[in-house]
Structure 1
Amino acid sequence: MKSWFMPCILAAWLFPASGDLCLNPPPVNFSILVVTVTEERFLATYYCIRGYHLIGKKELFCNKSSLEWDSPAPTCLLGHCPNPVLINGQLNSSKLEPVSEEEIVTFKCDTNYILKGSNWTQCQKDHTWTPPLPICIREQCKPPQRSNHVHFKASNFNPGSRVTFYCEDGYQLIGEQSLQCINGEWSGESPICEEVLEAIREAPVEAEESCVFRERNNICENVQRMMQCQKENRKTLEELKYSMEIKKLQLEKIKAVMSTE
């Protein structure tokens, strides 16, 4: 295995234009290129010169069978680290551009926004910021999204506040009834209201206690008793199941109403 250095700013290529070799590695300004040759492939590694940082893939491979590089060439941009950006906020550093190694930047959010993350960061030797760059999020939550037939009650949308949802008559709530504003975002998805079928809302509960299956020591006897009860009341298994579903919906509706009061 052998390797050599190639300063791309000089554009001095060492690959011969041959049909059985890979094409010259793509040139990258303000970088130093190290090429390693093995029996099976070429490896091109790019290093940005001091004062520049790499954007893209650092290493490119070229198999001798395909004779093509596996990725586009990276670029070297001015500054040891990428320029810090804070949307809806402000940053304070010793200078604007380029960013130098070990430079420290502090952050502050605009009015009505709060900082999520560290209020400072430092440019490291590996061209990264540590701690990671923060973001500015809204201090208040936006009004919650709601679908048709959904209403909500809330005194405000400040951090820690809660909003309670309820449905119009004839509709039932599907989802969380109450959400809390945390770090500018609601704690969950807004619920929806689905229409309760007229037949379910108005149909009387016909299932009788005597026809409900109860666990006993003698299961066969209990099954026979339930079947006899259904026969006397002229009920089928589907009818019994339907009446029990109606009772379940009515109990859920009562529970929802009681929890909102």
Structure 2
Amino acid sequence: MAPNLQCIFPALHLFGVLMLLLCPSCLSDCSMFPSIAHGSYEDVSSFFSFDTVVRYKCDKGYVLVGEEKITCRNSHWSSPVPQCKALCLKPEIKDGTVSADKDQYVEPENVTVQCDPGYSMVGFPSIICSEDRTWYPEVPKCEWEVRTGCEQVLAGRKLMQCLPSLEDIKMALEVYKLALEIEKLELQT
């Protein structure tokens, strides 16, 4: 062996041992950390460890599904990369209920809306928590059913919604009653 090569090999060997001591995780092929949608990761590896450890966390409004920490050993990750799933708030249903009564739902959770007796549904009864943290399709509404012969009740209900006070409602009903009596008198003549 040439004298120059005899000096280079021990130096390379010493450099390799030094690299192993200073950066053992450099030897594993885990330099590319798997990223996740709606979340972030952090390398939490120990300085003198042969393993690469990554910790994941989700953005506000999302929940982590899977392992919070994954470890790379011998160029293989210990478990699948976790996911950040959307959280949807409980749908507000006036005059109705949802099949699973909770404060929050995780994507792609599905709930069914049911209207109270006397109310009919406007929209689709089955809704799904979607990735953008909204319900799809849109949350249905429960509207009061106006049965045949109940049109006057509906008119009275609208009147109550339009007038600001009980006195105004009484006055409007008196005027309406008077108008009906005048109409009846005119029909008789």
Which structure dedicates a bigger proportion of its chain to helix?
A: 2
TM-score by length of 1: 0.28
